[in-house]
Amino acid sequence: MEFPTKVALAQTVPVLPQGPGWWYEPKYDGHRTVLRRTDETVVLYARSGRAVTQHWMDLAVAGMELRPGTVLDGEAVIWRDGRFDFAAAQSRAASSTTRAPRPGSPAPGLLRLLGCFAAPGPGYR
């Protein structure tokens, strides 16, 4: 797999299509993110392909628990006051790397999984 990789993007439509073969999922207020666990580290990519690990360091730290070779597709979100906070996610994504929240911040990032591009080993879930 080449990195950064392209992800499928949601489309807005006026009416939901009907018939067999259609799947739907809600769009949360976050940023499309691919998490790649390498042998030594975790790298997070925005949908543009830009590395955003420094902005979502709490997700990178959590990703170190995954087996090397794991690649997840998801949406980086922030849950605050009982809802997803898009302004907080935008602020985090636009922050300088020196001002990005660190693990343990009062508004931690979460990765809402959309899919798994790679999972090493049999029976890995």
Active site residues: 27
Choose among 114, 119, 118, 125: nearest CA to 31.
Answer: 114
> Locate tokens 């979502």: which residue?
56
Contact between 117 and 69 under an 8 Å Cβ cutoff? The reply is: no
